[in-house]
């Protein structure tokens, strides 16, 4: 197979669109250029944003890039929780729709300390006893105690709320899940459960709060969302997650898939066996 010539160098900031995994993109770039590649941090398939792919000898500097500060825009829908803390999960609880005051949410984000500890989500690739956490429920194993992760919150801001209707939120969530073409994330089961949830609940507006955070390596925005909801006395899940910044790399500085694979590239080139 003829390998493509790499005109981008060995440090590739890439904009990962919704529906792909970081592993898929990294693997496809490695095959395209015929060199070993690694990434510096996973982004969930329902999220989008800047990832960094390192090629060839630059892979040896992975830890330097992994430690870069990350910036995220994220939305929390209050009143619904899922087992994954985002839309790619089964609804685990529903409560009367809270209407949280703007001043309360502003106060809540100010209570988070810079040095912050959270519980890692069950549906994550974090290993416990040498096994990735998401494999425990998949293999019907006893769920271990979820480990803690400590890091820094450099900035946490509340950006306002809107009130979309439940049915529109569910359809938006399902449309995102349908973009995840490969990888076993329980897509069919989750979509079915969201549809069942829709059919058994009235169409009512829900509060969707918007936030911006800059955090250190390894912290989960999904877990942060649970701590925000808990402080507000309610439940919630992340309905939108965008990594806007990875160190100094932003969307404006990132390569898009069309830049790397060509304007006529087939999305099938990124499909792989990886699920997380």
Which residues belong to the active site? 44
- The CA-CA-CA angle for residues 201, 202, 207, to 5°, reads 95
Closest listed residue to residue 10, CA positions, set 41, 43, 33, 27: 33
Query: Helix, strand, or coil here: 154?
Result: strand
| 179 token code pair | 């973009």
- Helices and strands in the chain, H and E counts: 8, 13
| Alpha-carbon torsion (121, 122, 127, 129), positive or negative | positive
Query: Dihedrals φ, ψ of 213, to 5°?
Result: -135, 145
Using CA atoms, how far residue 195 sits from 173, 199, 237, in Å, is 11, 6, 17
Q: CB neighbours of 168 closer than 8 A, spacing ≥ 6?
A: none
């Amino acid at each position: 197979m003829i390998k493509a010539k790499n005109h981008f160098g060995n440090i590739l900031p890439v904009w990962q669109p919704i529906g792909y995994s970081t592993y898929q993109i990294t693997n496809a770039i490695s095959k395209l250029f015929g060199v070993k590649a690694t990434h510096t941090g996973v982004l969930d398939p329902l999220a989008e944003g800047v990832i960094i792919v390192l090629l060839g000898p630059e892979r040896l500097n992975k830890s330097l890039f992994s430690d870069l500060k990350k910036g995220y825009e994220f939305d929390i829908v209050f009143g619904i929780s899922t087992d994954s803390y985002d839309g790619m999960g089964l609804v685990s609880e529903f409560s009367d729709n809270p209407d949280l005051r703007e001043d309360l949410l502003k106060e809540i984000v100010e209570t988070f300390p810079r040095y912050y500890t959270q519980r890692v989500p069950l549906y994550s690739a974090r290993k416990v006893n040498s096994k990735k956490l998401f494999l425990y429920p998949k293999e019907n194993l006893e769920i271990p105690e979820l480990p803690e992760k400590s890091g820094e919150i450099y900035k946490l801001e509340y950006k306002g709320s809107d009130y979309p209707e439940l049915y529109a939120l569910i359809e938006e969530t399902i449309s995102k899940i349908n973009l995840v073409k490969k990888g076993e994330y329980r897509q069919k089961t989750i979509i079915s459960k969201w549809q069942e949830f829709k059919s058994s609940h009235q169409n009512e507006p829900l509060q969707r709060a918007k936030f911006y955070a800059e955090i250190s390596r390894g912290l989960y925005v999904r877990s942060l969302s649970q701590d925000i909801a808990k402080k507000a006395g309610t439940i919630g899940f992340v309905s939108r997650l965008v990594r806007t910044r990875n160190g100094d790399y932003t969307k404006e500085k990132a390569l898009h898939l069309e830049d790397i694979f060509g304007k006529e590239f087939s999305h099938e080139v990124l499909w792989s066996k990886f699920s997380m």
